[in-house]
Amino acid sequence: MLIQLPINAHRKAMTEDLKQKLMEFKSHRNKLMGRLLNKSYRYMSELANEYLSSLGYDGFKVGHLILLVNLDLDGTTNNELAKRANVTKQAMSKMVKELVEYGFIETAKHPKDARATIVTLTQAGGQFILDWKGCSLYIDKKIGEILGQEKLSVLKDILEELVTEVEAQGNNRPKFANDMQMVVKGNS
């Protein structure tokens, strides 16, 4: 549903009530979940790029990990990778193409299904995954220096619980419209 505003509505000065509500909202912006997760992800990405660059992996995109961590050692089809990573087949095909260019994976026709492509790790791809393990330890060390190891462990447990629950719900999660009605009614 689109909201239709009167033609000159955008020219109306903000009411003091609206201004007060906005100020209150903005005063809590540092606690917004999206902002916190986004900034945390950016910090982790910076640490990862720093670490990987020191090993000679210049230009590697942290987003490529979504493919590598979902790849079976014996190979996985593009469609199965897309399903596991929860991305479109087209997005996965693009990642496959980029990682083939890096030399981390190779593709071949599936031996049992001529329509499918099987993706396998190369020696360089396998080594990268082991180097990523070192990168993960580096990220944990750096974040642990900020939070302390106990808080880092609690944070990981909470995020794991969240991800596990969301994945378990799959398509059974309440739809956006239902959630919005609850949020709006709860805040009115």
Task: Pick 10 or 154 by higher pLDDT.
Answer: 154
User: What SS3 class is residue 16?
Assistant: helix
Distance (Å, whole) CA 38 – CA 17: 30
Could you give the C-alpha distances from 151 to 36, 42, 107, 137, in angstroms and in order?
Answer: 16, 19, 42, 16
Confidence (pLDDT) at 119: 96
The reported pTM is: 0.72
Q: pLDDT per residue over 54-81, tens digit each? A: 999 987 887 888 899 999 999 999 999 9
Confidence of residue 187 (pLDDT cuts 50, 70, 90): low
For tokens 């609690």, the residue is 154
Q: Are strands 76-77 and 105-109 parallel, antiparallel or unpaired?
A: unpaired
What DSSP element (H or E) covers 172? none
Distance (Å, whole) CA 64 – CA 66: 5
Q: For helices 123-147 and 149-169, what crossing angle results, to 10°?
A: 120
Using the predicted structure, report yes or no on whether residue 188 has a pLDDT greater than 50.
no
Using the predicted structure, report yes or no on whether residue 145 has a pLDDT greater than 50.
yes
Using the predicted structure, report yes or no on whether residue 12 has a pLDDT greater than 90.
no
- Structural tokens at position 156: 């990981």
Using the predicted structure, report yes or no on whether residue 7 has a pLDDT greater than 70.
no
Q: E strands within 10-111?
A: 76-77, 105-109
Q: pLDDT per residue over 91-143, tens digit each? A: 999 999 999 999 999 999 988 888 888 999 999 999 999 999 999 999 999 99
**b/e per residue, 31-69, with b = 16+ CB within 10 A?**
eeeeeeeeeeeeebeebbbebbeeeebeebebebbbbbe
Q: pLDDT per residue over 152-180, tens digit each? A: 999 999 999 998 998 888 767 666 655 55
Confidence of residue 40 (pLDDT cuts 50, 70, 90): very high
Is the distance from CB of 114 to CB of 153 less than 8 angstroms? no
> Residue 6: what are its φ and ψ, rounded to 5°?
-60, 155
